[in-house]
Structure 1
Amino acid sequence: MLLFVISLAALVCAVAARPPLSYLENHFTAENESVEVRSAAIKRLLEVFGMDDPPAMHGHKQPPQYMLDLYNTVADVDGVTKDPYLLEGNTVRSFFDKLRSEQVEFRFNLSTVAITEKILTAELHLFKLRPQATLTFNRHHFCQVSVYQLLDTSKNNNTQDKKLLSSRLIPVHSTGWEVFTITQAVRSWMNDEGSNLGLHVVVRTLGGSHMDLKLIRFASGRDHHQSKQPMLVLFTDDGSRSTTLESIGDAEVTSDLPSAPMSGPPSRIARSLDYSEEEGASSPCQRQPLYVDFEEIGWSGWIVSPRGYNAYHCKGSCPFPLGQNMRPTNHATVQSIINALKLIKGIDTPCCVPDKLFSINLLYFDDAENVVLKQYNDMVAGSCGCH
């Protein structure tokens, strides 16, 4: 009997300790809803950045120094565009040589470039190595480096197997990056993917004879560090450049980005005619911080820079009378007057909204491990006003 009582007591305690079924159902429903909401929100954010899915994680790889330098040229520390006209187009991609053959032949896979993108400029970046020590006293001081597009002789009755794209003189004893324009070839490859047979580099003396490749050497994808590998840099435009609230041209872009709001209490505002004490005090329309942290979203593995950015948001009231500090439009001024005088029912006060928007820049790895620099329009509230 005692054992039965103990068992019954234990059962009662267990039942009492267990949450009710309705609580468990609500809890799991809330969890499922939060997961669904997060998934939908991330999907929508990807659409803002022009992606269907996040690229694969490439956190262990190093981006080319050229792309890092370009990012720092066009963007500030928060990724905000310094000047919308510093960059040609709105997308820059870097591709490493996939052929990985000898130093005179290169090939690049451009399958990640959308056919709808406008090809603006394409550059072949080659790193010129120092001549071998035993050949440094060669009588040649300059050489002519020519870049050719390899052609398919079986198509269109081509009689030539290559087409000259770019040619110029280079000091024999120099070292560092050399850049050649190959826009014509890339445009033809985009029109016909099968025509992409690669590029061929020819080095000749000023007299026209072939030069010793031990004297003139370019780093190759097979034998040299990634920081010196041949690279194609492609400037394109996807047609989404904003013409609305973006600042135009001058240094106004950076100067119009004020620092974080002052820590002091908000100033008192003039009351509108329908404002009462019961509604409580309200701050005037102003810009407030809104930080987007890519690490919290789970994107830090493929985004190189920035780690996050301050999008800001506009918050506050637009009471009558609207002063110039509220940056009101004429329409907003008239609306506030109609609201204050109660001339028409149902007319609200003007809204506190961004009246200037700036773009940000993302430097990231795509699915093919190419590094991309892209500008996204209307991502940062530069200032707020009553509209």
Structure 2
Amino acid sequence: MLPLPLLATSLATLVCAVSARPSLNYLENPFGVESESEEVRSEAIKRLLEVFGMEDPPLPRGHKQPPQYMLDLYNTVADVDGVTKDPYLLEGNTVRSFFDKLRSEQVEFRFNLSTVGRSEKVLTAELHLFKLRSQTSAALNRHHFCQVSVYQLLDSSKMNVTQGKKLLSSRLIPIHSSGWEVFTITQAVRSWMLDEGSNLGLQVVVRSLAGTQMDMKLVRFASGRNHHQSKQPMLVLFTDDGRHSATLESKELSDAPASPGLPHLPSAGLASRSARSLDYSEDYSASLPCQRLPLYVDFEEIGWSGWIVSPRGYNAYHCKGSCPFPLGQNMRPTNHATVQSIINALKLTKGIETPCCVPDKLFSINLLYFDDEENVVLKQYNDMVAGSCGCH
């Protein structure tokens, strides 16, 4: 994660690069100006990718639909602008969903975890299976529950014996039910992360309460081969990539939605135009008191709309204005800023400037996007939105 000054520089440079227009010098040297503009834009986007922890942007995914679970999770942790509702709501800062790569008609599954960073700490791993309705009703009078067990495969040649697999999770499920069933398989995923070659997949075994194998027509789970994507087997992985906030988000955020502290703009498009239309002269801006002003980052203008699901953009805000003596409490000054303003006003030391107007509270945003393997990722990025401004 880049420090705040570098992040602000990256965002500001990118906004300028995106909205840049040819100057009069373009008439004299059109190729030189265009080349310089593209170079600045390229460098700005490279820096912005660093902020989002990427080397290259993922490939566009067109109209591919993300899993409903990931959409629901995003809407739970983020508001309409992507700003985190509660910084303590999400376990870790990254959630990934993986579809089954084996696509077998049997209840065996395998997931490719190559996109998970080696430095990421695996917190929780869940196997999501969609239970279908039974194809026969004759046995419902005799069986009401079944035992569903999930095993980690240890030896592909011994899948049908105890030594070839390891029990991860097991519980009773009503036979007549249908819908998503979730099993914790954290232990297996952690071992796969340590040794990629040990990832031989998972096996699901369904038995009666008496311990006998059950007819698959009676208890069925959707497979990746024969059923709609919305019901396909899925691995959901919660991780922490080790990034930490430079300024801890206020716990006040967990007591109330972020929207009261972050004024909601009517629409992304309007916010974008408003941010660019604020063209203060230096004299006028210098006379303004320290305050928070819009700074909308539009992912479509940057060229990222093909792989980002939500949000379409977000308002990062920026701080602008003067911190004149005497500093009132409305300026949210630190004690250091108050002393500095007094020294400046009394001219006690040469070269001492007035305090600066900077963000004094920062909020995180959430990004829902497709990675290069078509997995959907929900990632939380710290210190992305200026929640308020003060004199420091």
Say if 2:356 is the partner of 1:341.
Answer: no
Say if 2:208 is the partner of 1:212.
Answer: no
* Equivalent residues of 2:152, 2:166 under 8 A apart: yes
1:307 equivalent among 297, 308, 312: 312
* Equivalent residues of 1:136, 1:173 under 8 A apart: no
Moved more, 134-143 or 39-48: 134-143
| SS of equivalent residue, structure 2 residue 197 | helix
Partner of 2:8: none
Partner of 1:248: 251
Return the letter of the residue paired with 2:217.
K
Return the letter of the residue paired with 1:316.
G
Size of the aligned set, in residue pairs, is: 348
Distance 1:37 1:164 in 2: 55
Q: Which has the higher helix share?
A: 2
* Equivalent residues of 1:121, 1:236 under 8 A apart: yes
Quote how far apart the aligned CAs of 1:135 are.
3.9
Return the letter of the residue paired with 2:318.
H
Partner of 2:361: 356
Question: What is the aligned-residue RMSD (CA, Å)?
Answer: 2.1
Distance 1:82 1:295 in 2: 24
2:181 equivalent among 155, 163, 178: 178
Quote how far apart the aligned CAs of 1:248 are.
2.7
Matches within 5 A, 1:103-122: 103-122=106-125
Partner of 1:48: 51
Partner of 1:235: 238
Say if 2:192 is the partner of 1:189.
Answer: yes
| SS of equivalent residue, structure 2 residue 119 | coil
Distance 2:157 2:227 in 1: 34
* Equivalent residues of 2:344, 2:354 under 8 A apart: yes
Moved more, 130-139 or 366-375: 130-139
Matches within 5 A, 1:1-387: 26-135=29-138, 137-152=140-155, 160-242=163-245, 244-248=247-251, 250-251=254-255, 254=258, 257-259=261-263, 282-387=287-392
Distance 1:382 1:154 in 2: 57
| SS of equivalent residue, structure 1 residue 254 | coil
Return the letter of the residue paired with 1:258.
L
Quote how far apart the aligned CAs of 1:258 are.
3.4
- TM-score, reference length from structure 1: 0.86
- TM-score, reference length from structure 2: 0.85
Quote how far apart the aligned CAs of 1:103 are.
3.8
Structure 1: gaps (5+ residues): 1-21, 262-277
Return the letter of the residue paired with 1:303.
I
| SS of equivalent residue, structure 1 residue 47 | helix
Distance 1:202 1:101 in 2: 15
Partner of 2:22: none
Cα deviation digits, residues 265-309 of structure 1 (max 9, x gap): xxxxxxxxxxxxx96671100000000000000100000000000
Quote how far apart the aligned CAs of 1:60 are.
1.7
* Equivalent residues of 2:140, 2:175 under 8 A apart: no
Return the letter of the residue paired with 1:384.
C
Distance 1:204 1:372 in 2: 34
| SS of equivalent residue, structure 1 residue 30 | helix
Distance 1:159 1:81 in 2: 45
* Equivalent residues of 2:157, 2:164 under 8 A apart: no
Q: 1:42 to 1:151 in 2, by over 3 A?
A: same
Structure 2: gaps (5+ residues): 1-24, 266-281
Counting aligned pairs with the same residue, the percent is: 83
* Equivalent residues of 1:291, 1:308 under 8 A apart: yes
